[in-house]
């Protein structure tokens, strides 16, 4: 590309404000008049300010006419020197946002007879559609026409199914080639968009079990590759969509694996780490590198490294749809982990190539914001960025028929965008789950506008990962040796509220959340140390059997607390990543689900299965509102590590009038006298009773590092 020589520089910073930089080597940086010339003629600019900026004289000039960001203009000074008017900070102004906001079609409208192409590029002077025939590889460049609101369009009256395409965009005299941000298919490694007929890939969504409330959910998080890559997974096509969809797989000992195992476990939702197209795994050499997938590149395209044929654009689409359908046929809903908060590399993103500077946030010094820690933050508050996120969510709902979204670093996004996501989901199915990581990150968005935990009252029916539950139950995520309540630390201040949905059991103003559906309770996820690895670090000298008791207690608290329980795959068999805290690019040997380890801990797997069934059978553990929790729940501390969690007068929710959940995180056994009445045992030590409940007389033992549940049946009739 030829370099562009400019004697001085001019930038459109608002639709009527132009900033001009004159180097001191150019007439000493002095000028006393400027005009702007365009198709409409010449306009004299008013110089409002002049200041020194490093080696330049900076002139702030005002135009009497608002300029069009997509047209070509020249700036001429009183020395008869000229330069082109470049796009500057105007794209980050509210006026630009409102003037160029567009609600019409974007992407491709395909049919076998003709296809229409739409690209929003309001600052481009020219745009060309680049089309490559997949048969003879001929390349053609087709000029596009600019329409209202900065949309460029063209129509082709031929069947272009399978053609590769990109866009050439001319901005500030520089041509840039980019993949369509609205592409729904790409060539291998995402180098070009591909035109496909999605009608060929349609599936019919199975009928799913009722989900009266989000608190009836039990979420199980996994990664497509981790799920079946282990040598003993029994899957035919390990590490792929097809491997994850396969039923009837078993280990060499005959125990179920994969999807069949998840069905047997009894969870309601399978959450998949990112399946949209991401960087850092070569789709032609898949096993050379590993990645979780939080490096997004094409948000509406399935990742190719999980496909059996990444060179076939249809294969990845069909295989992901077949996986989702296979999971749903087992009565399990599918949650998609989405990463709308950043892109892999800003400079390489289609967003930046097509409209530089618009899709990302910048700080007060004009530098890219970095609240995400990866060098860029998506500016969700801008109207067309918000529209893109909403369009993408709607696409995954309509085309792939997913049942929920987990928003990575949701705190980077704004409240209005997330409320819009909830509304879009409700228009499809009110049972769709929406939740995310509401961490308050340092991004240039006012705190009151962020989709963070402290703004949960502005985000009704949107769940948040409860970091207080995580850190107070198992110990600080950021201090490896710090232990929490379940691990024997009696100094945790909020245990009673965490057990009861974090809604403020005795003081609603002190609660983290308005309603229990907003708290995602967890002690382990793909991030940070696994629970087992943390326990190993905290207690290197105790016996493994005692470590396992601590692990089981923490996991049981997730399943027995009010709110929405979340499990990391393998948590039920003490998953380890061998002390690796952040395994996002560690080898398969670190990240894979170890099915041999599962076989070694079948007793504990059965215990977790039974706990899941117990939760499902006791609606009182899944109270749907804060009012109901405050009415029926109470907490009594017999000691800092011995908690009596009682659910009273809950006969309208099932067979039990009263439930006492006795939690002993101490290293010593406890015993309590029972209230008057006939009491039955539902849980003791490592045994769950789902029927044939034993009687309990006068008092009950509560073993160390365990939970005991007793219940009193409601009166007959």
pLDDT band at 717 (very low <50, low <70, confident <90, very high): low
Supply angle C-alpha 499, 641, 618, rounded to 5.
35
Alpha-carbon dihedral sign for residues 671, 675, 677, 681:
negative
pLDDT digits (tens, 9 = 90+) for 149-194: 999 999 999 999 999 999 999 999 999 999 999 999 999 999 999 9
In whole angstroms, give the CA distance from residue 235 to residue 263: 16
Task: Give me 485's structure tokens.
Answer: 């309540």
Per-residue burial over 205-224, b = 16 or more CB atoms within 10 Å of its CB, e = otherwise: eeebeebebbbbbbbbbbbb
Q: Cα–Cα distances in Å, from 121 out to 233, 234, 378, 493?
A: 48, 49, 17, 53
- DSSP one-letter code for 627: H
Q: What is the mean pLDDT of residues 564-575?
A: 98
Place of tokens 């076998």: 112
**DSSP β-bridge partners for residue 499:** none
CB atoms within 10 A of CB 228: 27
Q: What is the mean pLDDT of residues 101-118?
A: 98
DSSP H stretches of helix in 104-223: none
Pairing of strands 151-156, 115-120: antiparallel
Q: What is the pLDDT, as a whole number, of residue 508?
A: 79
Alpha-carbon dihedral sign for residues 59, 65, 70, 74:
negative
pLDDT digits (tens, 9 = 90+) for 61-85: 999 999 999 999 999 999 999 999 9
Is this model's pTM higher than 0.85 or not? yes
Q: What is the pLDDT, as a whole number, of residue 475?
A: 97
Q: What is the pLDDT, as a whole number, of residue 250?
A: 98
In whole angstroms, give the CA distance from residue 379 to residue 412: 8
The number of angstroms, rounded, from the C-alpha of 388 to the middle of its chain's C-alpha atoms is 15
Instruction: State the chain's mean pLDDT as an integer.
Output: 96
Q: What is the mean pLDDT of residues 206-232?
A: 98
Place of tokens 């005299």: 173
SS3 19: strand
CB atoms within 10 A of CB 695: 9
pLDDT digits (tens, 9 = 90+) for 452-461: 999 999 999 9
Alpha-carbon dihedral sign for residues 688, 690, 696, 699:
positive
Maximum Cα–Cα distance across the chain: 102
pLDDT digits (tens, 9 = 90+) for 5-16: 999 999 999 999
> Are 63 and 45 contacting, i.e. CB atoms less than 8 angstroms apart?
yes
Q: What is the mean pLDDT of residues 495-506?
A: 96
Upper half-sphere CA count for residue 352 (Cβ side, 13 Å)? 15
In whole angstroms, give the CA distance from residue 566 to residue 466: 10
Q: Is the pLDDT of residue 2 over 60?
A: no
pLDDT band at 1 (very low <50, low <70, confident <90, very high): very low
Task: Give me 209's structure tokens.
Answer: 């079990």
Q: What is the pLDDT, as a whole number, of residue 137?
A: 87
Active site residues: 408, 437
Residues 6 or more apart from 73 whose CB is under 8 A from it?
12, 36, 37, 38, 67, 84, 85
> Are 565 and 220 contacting, i.e. CB atoms less than 8 angstroms apart?
no
**Virtual torsion, Cα 66, 67, 70, 75, nearest 10 deg:** -160
Task: Give me 351's structure tokens.
Answer: 């967003």
Q: Cα–Cα distances in Å, from 462 out to 351, 417, 521, 599, 701?
A: 27, 12, 14, 37, 40
């Amino acid at each position: 590309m030829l370099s562009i020589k400019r004697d001085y520089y001019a930038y459109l910073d608002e639709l009527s404000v132009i900033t001009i930089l004159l180097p001191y080597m150019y007439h000493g940086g002095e000028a006393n008049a400027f005009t702007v010339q365009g198709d409409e003629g010449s306009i004299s600019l008013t110089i409002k300010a002049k200041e020194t900026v490093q080696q330049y004289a900076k002139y702030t000039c005002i135009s009497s006419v608002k300029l069009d960001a997509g047209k070509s203009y020249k700036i001429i000074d009183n020395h008869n020197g000229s330069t082109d008017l470049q796009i500057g900070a105007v794209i980050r102004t509210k006026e630009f946002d409102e003037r160029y906001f567009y609600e019409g079609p974007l992407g491709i409208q395909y049919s076998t007879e003709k296809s229409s192409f739409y690209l929003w590029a309001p600052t481009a002077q020219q745009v060309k559609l680049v089309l490559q025939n997949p048969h003879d590889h001929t390349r053609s460049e087709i000029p596009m026409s600019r329409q209202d609101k900065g949309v460029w369009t063209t129509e082709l009256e031929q069947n272009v199914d399978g053609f590769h395409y990109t866009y050439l965009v001319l901005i500030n005299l520089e041509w840039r080639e980019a993949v369509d941000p609205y592409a729904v298919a790409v060539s291998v490694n995402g180098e070009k968009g591909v035109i496909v007929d999605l009608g060929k890939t349609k599936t019919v969504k199975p009928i799913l079990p009722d989900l009266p409330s989000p608190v009836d959910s039990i979420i199980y998080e996994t990664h497509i590759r981790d799920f079946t890559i282990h040598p003993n997974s029994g899957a035919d096509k390990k590490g792929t969509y097809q491997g994850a969809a396969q039923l009837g797989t078993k280990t060499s000992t005959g125990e179920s694996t994969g999807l069949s195992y998840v069905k047997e476990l009894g969870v309601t939702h399978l959450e998949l780490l990112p399946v949209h197209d991401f960087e850092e795994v070569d789709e032609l050499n898949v096993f050379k590198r590993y990645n979780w997938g939080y490096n997004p590149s094409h948000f509406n395209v399935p990742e190719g490294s999980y496909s059996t044929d990444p060179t076939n654009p249809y294969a990845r689409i069909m295989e992901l749809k077949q996986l989702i359908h296979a999971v749903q046929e087992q009565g399990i809903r599918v949650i998609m982990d989405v990463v709308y908060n950043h892109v892999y590399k800003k400079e390489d993103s289609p967003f930046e190539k097509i409209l530089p500077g618009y899709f990302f946030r910048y700080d007060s010094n004009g530098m890219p914001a970095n609240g995400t820690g990866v060098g860029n933050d998506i500016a969700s508050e801008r109207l067309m960025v918000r529209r893109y996120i909403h369009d993408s969510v709607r696409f995954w709902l309509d085309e792939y028929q997913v049942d929920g979204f987990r928003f990575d670093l949701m705190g980077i996004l704004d409240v209005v965008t997330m409320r819009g996501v909830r509304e879009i989901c409700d228009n499809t199915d009110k049972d769709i789950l929406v939740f995310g990581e509401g961490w308050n990150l340092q991004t240039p968005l006012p705190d009151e506008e962020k989709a963070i935990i402290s703004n949960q009252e502005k985000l009704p029916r949107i769940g948040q990962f409860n970091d207080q539950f995580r850190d107070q139950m198992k110990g600080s995520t950021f201090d490896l040796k710090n232990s929490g309540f379940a691990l024997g630390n009696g100094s945790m201040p909020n245990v009673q509220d965490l057990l009861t949905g974090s809604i403020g059991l005795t003081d609603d103003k002190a609660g983290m959340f308005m309603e229990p559906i907003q708290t995602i309770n967890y002690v382990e996820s793909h991030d940070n140390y696994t629970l087992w690895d943390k326990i190993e670090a905290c207690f290197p000298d105790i016996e493994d059997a005692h470590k396992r008791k601590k692990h089981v207690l923490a996991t049981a608290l997730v399943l027995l607390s009010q709110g929405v329980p979340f499990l990391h795959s393998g948590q039920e068999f003490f998953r380890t990543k061998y002390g690796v805290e952040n395994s996002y690019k560690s080898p398969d040997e670190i990240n894979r689900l170890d099915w041999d380890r599962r076989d070694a801990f079948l007793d504990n797997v059965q215990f977790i299965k039974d706990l899941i069934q117990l939760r499902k059978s006791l609606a009182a553990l899944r109270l749907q509102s804060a009012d109901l929790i405050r009415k029926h729940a109470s907490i009594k501390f017999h000691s800092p590590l011995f908690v009596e969690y009682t659910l009273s007068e809950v006969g309208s929710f099932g067979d039990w009038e009263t439930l006492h959940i006795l939690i002993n995180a101490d290293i010593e056994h406890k015993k309590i006298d029972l209230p008057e009445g006939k009491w039955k045992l539902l849980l003791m030590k490592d045994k769950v009773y789902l029927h044939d409940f034993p009687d309990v007389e006068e008092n009950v033992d509560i073993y160390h590092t365990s939970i005991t549940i007793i219940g009193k049946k409601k009166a007959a009739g």
